[in-house]
Amino acid sequence: MLETITKGFRAARNRLHGKAELTEEVIDEALRDVRVSLLEGDVEFNVVKTFLGRVRDKGLGRVVDVEAKDKEGKLHKLGAGERFIKICYEELEALMGPVDTSINISKPVTKIMMVGLQGSGKTTTAGKLVHYLKSQNKKNRVMLVAADIYRPAAVEQLKVLGEQLDVHVYSEEGVSPPELCDRAIQKAKERQCNYVIFDTAGRLTIDDALMQELVDIEQRTRPDNTFLVCDAMIGQDAVRTAAEFSKRLALHGFILTKLDGDARGGAALSIKEVTGKPVKFVGMGETLDRLEEFRPAGLASRILGMGDVVGLVQDFEGVVDEEKAEQDAMRMMRGQFSLDDFVEQIRTLRKMGSLSDLVDKIPFFSDMVPEGTKVDDGELVRVEAIVNSMTKQERKNPGMIDVSRKRRIAAGSGRAPKDVDELLGKFKMMKQMMSTLGQAPGMLAKLPGFKQMAQLRNVQGADLSGLFGTADPFGPGGMKPLAPPPGYYATTSVGAVASSRASKQKRKKRKAQRSARKKSRKR
């Protein structure tokens, strides 16, 4: 996600490395990289022009003596590249913000109207919104209204969603959408629902008939919230659509869908600036639980390649029992880490969404991934299939798996014996890493990415003491970060990221040396 936009900021940061001052020439070269990536990412032209102008004005003439305070009050100098990224972060956040994920509440029934073009994902998003409301408060009672009477099977689709979510879906044949929505409000009161969501009709393009029907529904029902659902995949067309709907309807905000696909993300940066209305939520997956509150700070951080720790923690908290996770962590740190635990971690990752989205949220992880590399979600499924083909004894004691057992496991999972070997190698390395972390908690600071997080915490004002402990591991007298152990990237449950070519070459060299020694002894 957002790779097209991110690469421009990464190129600008690299260009500014070692520069002493943000002179006109230096900043213009950096902004040229940013400009190209923003336009390729489908950010609206005038928005790009305004954003670059703000960054240029704030950055011009800033020298390296700019200082920032850390959590202890000490001053640190920021380089030209860090200063540039800080300015970009502030302007990106301002461009998309401030945060506004509020839903206007009304008694006795809160009315929510979903509008948008056909194919934008209105019906699915309506279901996701139901799930979100119920997750916020289990006492919330929601009713869906099937006001799309034109699209084939639209009513049936909504009813299927209603069954999955255990909510009532109101529909009537031979009734116009404005009348249907009006009647639905009374039905919602009778059923003691405190939310009613109108799933209205869309068109392939904006036309007068569509807009007039939506205006009529708005006038009849007086919705407390009108959300425009936009498909992020259509790029600048999403911004033009938003502008047209905003002229005719009293929109309260937007919901961007399919932002986790091949979307270039330009709509997320443009919509607020063009319409003045906030992005409320973003759809980050196909399942009904994948609707996230929009956080401009988090998206700005991801665009700049700095990840989104807050979003990562929120995802984790949503799928993990805190008490159990703590108990499991303590057990694993003592070296009690089995293949069953390995699979459980994989299942947790799958619940958190796509791997590519997860990688985006890990601070500076995207910088370690070679450009163009695709993170394969299917790898987790394949790993789980291999482990599921093992017996309970084999999962508890992988050391007992010999050649014949490997063949059986491979055949049962539809993989090759070498895949089983590779998995067992990754598991062994991960178990060793868990045990090492348990023996020396400070080892966390040596993992890739944490050094950069510590260095850039001043840029974002982030307090990382919760991760590193009360003392700064990289401060005076602190330990120096080490390079990751060989094969580290391949052993993480995020999946293989870097190749093991170097390790293979070393093994080949050692094998050749052993062979040479044997020959010399024979002589």
- Tens-place pLDDT, residues 299-308: 888 788 766 5
How many alpha carbons lie under 13 Å from residue 164 in its C-beta half-sphere?
15
Instruction: Report the b/e string of 280-291 with b at 16+ CB within 10 A.
Output: bbbbbbeebebb
Better-predicted residue by pLDDT, 443 or 264: 264
Q: What is the largest CA-CA distance in the chain?
A: 99
pLDDT of 117 above 60: yes
Better-predicted residue by pLDDT, 488 or 282: 282
Q: Please, what are the domains in the chain?
A: 3-96 (1.20.120.140), 110-303 (3.40.50.300), 320-507 (1.10.260.30)
Residue 497, SS3 per DSSP: coil
Residue 232, SS3 per DSSP: helix
d(CA 145, CA 149): 11
What average pLDDT does the segment 233-252 reach?
84
pLDDT at 457: 41
93 φ/ψ sector (left φ>0, alpha ψ -120 to 50, else beta):
alpha
Better-predicted residue by pLDDT, 343 or 78: 343
pLDDT at 14: 83
pLDDT of 502 above 60: no
Give me the sheet containing 110-115, strands edge to edge: 168-170, 142-147, 195-200, 110-115, 225-231, 253-257, 279-283, 291-293
pLDDT of 479 above 50: no
pLDDT at 453: 42
Q: Among 52-56, 161-165, 327-331, 388-392, where is mean pLDDT lowest?
A: 327-331
The most confident of the ranges 13-17, 109-113, 443-447 is 109-113
What average pLDDT does the segment 416-437 reach?
79
**pLDDT band at residue 326 using 50, 70 and 90 as cut-offs:** low
pLDDT of 473 above 50: no
Strands 291-293 and 279-283, by their bridges, are: antiparallel
pLDDT at 510: 67
pLDDT digits (tens, 9 = 90+) for 432-448: 766 665 555 444 444 44
What average pLDDT does the segment 441-460 reach?
44
d(CA 229, CA 122): 6
pLDDT at 287: 83
**pLDDT band at residue 255 using 50, 70 and 90 as cut-offs:** very high
Q: Among 136-140, 406-410, 515-519, where is mean pLDDT lowest?
A: 515-519
By C-alpha distance, which of 90, 86, 82, 91 is closest to 17?
82
Better-predicted residue by pLDDT, 419 or 514: 419
What average pLDDT does the segment 5-29 reach?
82
108: preceding bond cis by omega (within 30 degrees): yes
pLDDT at 455: 44
Mean pLDDT of the chain: 75
What average pLDDT does the segment 77-94 reach?
81
**pLDDT band at residue 314 using 50, 70 and 90 as cut-offs:** low
Residue 165 burial (CB count, 10 A):
19
Radius of gyration of the chain (CA): 27
Cβ atoms of residues 122 and 151 within 8 Å: no
Better-predicted residue by pLDDT, 166 or 364: 166
Percentage of the chain exceeding pLDDT 90: 25
Residue 158 token pair? 């909504």
d(CA 6, CA 4): 6
pLDDT digits (tens, 9 = 90+) for 86-103: 888 889 888 888 888 999
Residue 312 token pair? 């990562």
pLDDT at 476: 37
pLDDT at 391: 92
pLDDT at 191: 93
